[in-house]
Amino acid sequence: MMPPLLQVPPSFFSLDSSAPPDVLGGWIACFLTLAVFSFLYRDNPFYKLAEHVFIGLGTAYFALQYYEQGVLQKLQTHIVDASVLETVKLGGHEVPADVAIGLRAAAVVLSGMLLLRLVAPSSWAPRWPLAIMVGVYAALKMTGETQSKLVLLVGNSIQPIVSSEALPFGPDVRIEQTALWFTATKLIYYIGLICVLGHFVFTFRRTRTLAAVSRIGVVTLMITFGSMFGFTVLGRIALLIERVAMLKDYTAPEYALAGGTQAGLLATVLSPPVLLTVLMVALLALGALRRRERSPGPA
Amino acid sequence: MASVIANFDRRWIFLAVGLLVVSLYAAGISSELPESEYVRDFHATLEALPPGAIVLLSADFDPASAAELLPMYQGVIHHLFARDLRIVNVATWPAAPPFTQKEFARIAPLYGKTYGVDWVELGFLPGDDVAMGSIGQSLRSAYPRDDRRTSWADLPLLADVGDNMRGISLLITASAGYPGILEWIAQVGGRYDVTLLAGTTAVQTPDLFAFYPLQLKGFLGAATGATQYLQLAAPLAARLPTGEGALDEVRDENQRRMLVQSWAHILILALIVVGNVIYFRTRVPTGAARR
């Protein structure tokens, strides 16, 4: 949620990120939002412009962030700053600074070797850092993933079907607090779990029993996918509502074309979301008319 | 009827959803939600921490998911500061720091908090899972300096943080995808003695039920979870001076959005039902097709 717009009047242009969005930024934000939404009508120049601006800005921002945080600051901290210290903390261990700098310099050399792929694609040099990266990443993933997504998850799936904390039916007891509810949900859970696992058993001939188990497994999977679809809709609608809320914020009179702080019909009509919507719809309609005129009529 | 479906312009559906959302949001009606157990556990875990405990707060999102995650992120910062808990803020997504810097700059003064003593912003660390692993192994090695280029020694809060997550009582992530909560669970939750909480986007929420409550003590699923959590945490707003940034404003705005959300879902459900009815009524039977 944007800070309340009316508490501090926005300036026309400001680079202070803690200040309310400036007027110019407000118009640009509204234009780009509406330009992206215009794709729902059809592909058009407004959408194309927003798309190109987004890709350009995104690429520039990400490249700068990765260069600053991943290259520049690492070199500064681990080599330049470390050169005046006696010991350096490396991977959780105190090591002499010259050893740490040597290891970091080796990493820089490996990074350089990786870039050699650009000039000599078939060279042996890029393969060494790539092999180290793959090995380290595999080892890191294997231990963590095995522990959290296999061992602990299997342990988590084995649960009692009765609860000592569940309550009997009563006037002030919610149904999900009752013992019957608890046991019923756990039984459904176990039946679903076993049947889904049964669906993926391909070792044996698919007898009537296994086929029935598999069928229940498929139904369970479809319910799961339905739930995932529901959550996806939830997320997409939340994004739409946030954009609508943002556009509504910019209908404040401070952002209107004429400026000023007097709310009213004229200020609303001249505000970025309303004025830009009208202009864009008019231009898109004009474009549609011209296309219709150019297209050959029925023979 | 079959030709109606074949020639139906789906832009009418976009327009209907858009008009419904705009009109209901403009009406300004709000709706209170019943809290789920995942959200109650999230809130209770935060409430159980003693004052002064250090929480590692990870911003793993970007502008595309800020609509869902920023309200819960704001709520968590309010909640932690209101309970006098200390925050170490990190980010594994490059676009997250501008959001976190802005929120801390806005919320911290409301509680009279001091940078370096009550909260620290360490900024973005590239490397995804590897970055998370190195944060768990040694926060000091991963971040020799903070986001403002201040050295570790000049930040009193970090004197209480050691290697292997020592000194960190709780890890909370606002997770939009990869890397996010699933990677924190694998790289930190499974290796170190630290409690994990998460706020996630709607798309990622179904993945988390399997990890609750053994590996994940509670979570906020999407805008719904955020609204439920803000309802629980909002009484803290009474301790604040009224005005910008108060927690009840964030809650009210979310409750307002949830009503729109509910009606948009009802519309989409109705469209699915109508579409299926038309489809089954106009479907050519398999036998007839063969003949």
HSE of A108 in the Cβ direction (CA atoms, 13 Å)? 13
For residue B73, the SS3 value is helix
- The helix/strand/coil state of B203 is coil
A62 CA: distance to closest CA in chain B (Å): 7
Q: What is the pLDDT of residue B55?
A: 97
Q: Confirm if B144 and A93 have CB atoms less than 8 A apart.
A: no
State whether residue A159 sits within 8 Å of chain B by CB.
no
Comparing B212 with B283, which gets the higher pLDDT? B212
- Residue-wise pLDDT tens digits, B199-219: 999 999 999 998 988 899 999
pLDDT, tens only, A168-191: 877 777 887 888 898 999 999 999
Q: Do B190 and A152 touch (CB under 8 A)?
A: yes
Q: What is the mean pLDDT of residues A84-110?
A: 85
- Judged by a CB distance cut-off of 8 A, whether residue A245 touches chain B is yes
| B223 closest CB neighbour out of A40, A90, A234 | A234
Residues of A in contact with B63 (CB under 8 A): none
Residue B106 has pLDDT above 50, yes or no: yes
Which residue does chain B place closest to A78, by CA atoms? B144
Pairing of strands B119-124, B86-91: parallel
Task: Express each pLDDT in B169-196 by its tens digit.
Answer: 999 999 999 999 999 999 998 889 899 9
- pLDDT tens for each residue of A122-162: 889 999 999 999 998 898 888 888 888 888 888 888 888 88
pTM of the model: 0.89
Highest mean pLDDT out of A49-53, A257-261, B245-249: A49-53
Please state, in angstroms and rounded to a whole number, the distance separating the CA atoms of residues A265 and A205: 74
pLDDT band per the 50, 70, 90 thresholds, residue A4: very low
CA dihedral B130, A82, B138, A137 (to 10 degrees): 20
CATH architecture observed for domain B37-246: 3-Layer(aba) Sandwich (3.40)
Q: Is the pLDDT of residue B38 over 90?
A: yes
Helix (H, G, I), strand (E, B) or coil at B70: helix
- The SS3 call for residue B4 is helix
**What pLDDT shows up at residue A164?**
82
Mean pLDDT score, A209-225: 94
What are the boundaries of each domain within chain B?
2-28+257-289, 37-246
A50-92: per-residue pLDDT in tens? 999 999 999 999 999 999 988 888 888 878 888 888 888 777 7
Q: pLDDT band at residue B290, thresholds of 50, 70 and 90?
A: low
Please say if the pLDDT value at position B244 is more than 60: no
Residues found in chain B: 291
Question: How many interchain CB pairs under 8 A, A with B?
Answer: 168
Instruction: Tell me the C-alpha distance between A192 and A290, whole Å.
Output: 58
SS3 B9: coil
